[in-house]
Amino acid sequence: MRGEETEAERRRRWIEREAAKTQPKTMRCSKCGKEVDEYMEIAGRVLCVDCFLLEEMEERGAMRMPGEGSGSG
């Protein structure tokens, strides 16, 4: 039968909990599969920085219309 936890036990438990919060979360990129500490979460998907930038560039390229910036019109 265990009694109430001591102040030292409570402090140790608190330190362990706070230390766990500071540990970087390693995630796997949903596009390339790399395990990374730094990532972006977009629409429920985890993307590494490289894949995120690639998708941003592709998206901007798709938004560009033919003839845009040519001065015609």
Q: What per-residue confidence (pLDDT) applies to 13?
A: 92
Q: What is the pLDDT of residues 41-60, one digit of tens each?
A: 888 899 999 999 998 888 88
| Residues of the chain predicted below pLDDT 50 | none
DSSP codes, 10-70? HHHHHHHHHHHHHSPPPEE-TTT--EESSEEEETTEEEEHHHHHHHHHHHHHHHSPTTTTS
